[in-house]
Structure 1
Amino acid sequence: MSTLGTKENPWKLKTPPQTSEYEMYKDEKDGKEILVCTVGKTVLHYNYRCLADLQAMLRQHGDWMELGSADEQKPAKEGTVEAWARSADNPIGGWYGLKKGFRGRFGMYIPPLMEELGLAEVEHQPRNNRMKAI
């Protein structure tokens, strides 16, 4: 049996409001570890190190933080996980999303994986969900 989180056996997740299902797995591209997120027919890529970086930031933050998910073309609400994932002040100095045009939605798809891996707690309300480090 293959390990969970592989292309053959991806994590099966739901968005924070529990309204949509998607899959994620760890892969390698151009010598870098990435997360591949498949939502319907859309495929997004995120830098794998976002998991450790986000957990460290949330621990330093010390409290709940709004997710603030937004498409790449739309501005992210200040003080949210989404804004942090795009900020020049984060550990990689910019976007954790790797596919131009599909770099947003970090706050929608990464937090449920963090929860699945036991790295964070995520709210599951219809809107304005938050997360915090465990």
Structure 2
Amino acid sequence: LSTAHPPGVVAANIASIEVVENEPQHVKAVWEHTNYFKREVQNMGYDTGRSETPIIPLIIGDPGKAQELARVLFEEENIYGTPIIFPMVARELSRIRVQMNALLTKDDLNMALSSIEKVGKKLNII
């Protein structure tokens, strides 16, 4: 079952496509952020799998620890990482996912990286 999107949603989608086509600096920024963030979390010891998108998995391997990492990051550090656990992925591939966007600053990324490292060590993940 599907219906047509409301005109406002269609207009927003068209405008988004126009931005991507006409303002390449945004796409460039997303990829710069993605590459930087992924490299830094890998250097900490996180497994990022084989993702080739601005959605970066931090593969934890234990569903409980993945949920705990997401919870502590949100409650104590104000960072939202989506927990992805069984049955969405195999138990041994439990993870949280973080997503880059063009408006993040280097300070934003470094703050998030610092928190992810601190909480990962606190929970004996890294």
Say which structure is richer in strand.
Answer: 1
Say which structure is richer in helix.
Answer: 2
Please give the TM-score of this superposition, normalised by the length of structure 1.
0.29
Larger Rg: 2
